[in-house]
Amino acid sequence: MSIGRNIYELRKGKKITQGQLAEKLGVTEQSVSKWENDICAPDVSLFPIMAGFFGVSIDRIFGYSVSSYDEEVDKILKETDDAMDTYKEIEIMTSALERYPNSAKLKTNLAFSLSMINRISKDEKERKEAVAKGIRLCNEVVATCGDQKEVDDALSMLCRIYSETGEFEKALEANSKISNENYYSMVIGRSKIYKDKNSINELSKVTEEDLWKCFLAMDLILEMYVSALRKNQEFEKALAFTRAHKKLLSMFDEGCENFYAIHKFWAWNQDVRISKTLERHEKCLEKIKGLFEVYLQMRAAENSESFDVAERNPLFFSNTKGFIEENGRGGDFDKNYLSQFDNFLANTEGYAEFKEYVKANDVL
């Protein structure tokens, strides 16, 4: 790839025009245009300046390795960590920015250290100046950086600074701009804002929404993964993830035993099926007993005033309509399910007694 093409891509990544780059380098806009069209090359003295401006190594402009610049910045950040002193960190990174004036990573980390001044300094003027500089650095990254991760990191830092200084609307605005690729940062940042704001109603609302989304996602991920593991006959691994799935489904049981009972039934059923495949008779019976208890929870839900086997636990989540699953309705457990295991478990100790227990308890 040509030098001109590299300069073009770096300029576009910074979201600046040819004229803006020319101004930064002290050349004409026509010169930049000629470079990018490979009519001529920049003077050799401009390469270090361009490398620092774009936040890359000179090799990157020539089209070679891009790692050296990042390695240098990482070394600087390691030095700041080792300093164990906020003011020393600020000194190190401020000096480094003179060499790498457009390093998004340096700016965001420096903004973090400056935000710490707001916590530790007793000088109001010093605190205000540090906060203002931290905000300015983050906004520079957001405005000029072409790397979405770096932009999201800067937005997260803005969210933190604004939240800790009581500018909650600005914090929420910054938070709303974080990309979906960094959903985790957005969720954590939003909760922190409402915590700092001491707004329990708003915090409760977003906590419920985010927990429910995460719960549903983990439930479906585990469900699909266990199915795939069974299909590929990786039974021991499937059993391990089935145990994890059942723990997830029981996380919010407190005060609501039938919480998401239909999915618990599915998870227990996976355990039963795998135990049968592996010809573990006693384990299979043990799992069926556990499954039957979940089945009874489903029956209890079925007989409630509002049947919804996927009812959300009111202790943790608002009760929401729309999650009814028709296949969760109760029926004759002995006939519809247990009979499938009669031959397999015929000689297993306790099976006959369990069948009697089922007949006595599977009633409307």
What pLDDT does residue 364 have? 60
For residue 35, give the nearest of 72, 61, 65 by alpha carbon.
61
Please report, as a single letter, which amino acid is at residue 8.
Y
**pLDDT at position 312 over 80:** no
Question: Taking the mean position of all CA atoms in its chain, how far away is CA 229?
Answer: 25
Maximum mean pLDDT: which of 8-12, 65-69, 125-129: 125-129
Q: How many CB atoms lie within 10 A of CB 230?
A: 18
For residue 114, give the nearest of 92, 95, 140, 87 by alpha carbon.
87
For residues 317 and 203, the model is more confident at 203
For residues 141 and 311, the model is more confident at 141
- pTM to 2 decimal places: 0.73
Structure tokens at 306: 């509002």
What pLDDT does residue 123 have? 96
Confidence of residue 324 (pLDDT cuts 50, 70, 90): very low
Share of the chain above pLDDT 90, in %: 64
What pLDDT does residue 321 have? 46
**pLDDT at position 328 over 50:** no
DSSP string, 231-265: HTT-HHHHHHHHHHHHHHHTTT-TT-TTTTHHHHH
Q: 34-48, 176-190, 191-205: which range is least confident on average? A: 34-48
**pLDDT at position 313 over 90:** no
Q: What is the pLDDT of residues 168-187, one digit of tens each?
A: 999 999 999 999 999 999 99
Give the span between the Cα atoms of 181 and 150, in whole angstroms: 12
Q: What is the pLDDT of residues 228-260, one digit of tens each?
A: 999 999 999 999 999 999 999 999 998 887 788
Confidence of residue 304 (pLDDT cuts 50, 70, 90): low
For residues 276 and 48, the model is more confident at 276
For residue 10, give the nearest of 32, 30, 40, 43 by alpha carbon.
32
**pLDDT at position 327 over 50:** no
Q: What is the pLDDT of residues 281-294, one digit of tens each?
A: 999 999 999 999 98
CA atoms lying within 13 Å on the CB side of residue 183? 6
Mean pLDDT for 19-31 is 92
Confidence of residue 72 (pLDDT cuts 50, 70, 90): confident
Distances (CA, A) of 326 to 12, 34, 43, 257, 357: 54, 68, 73, 19, 26
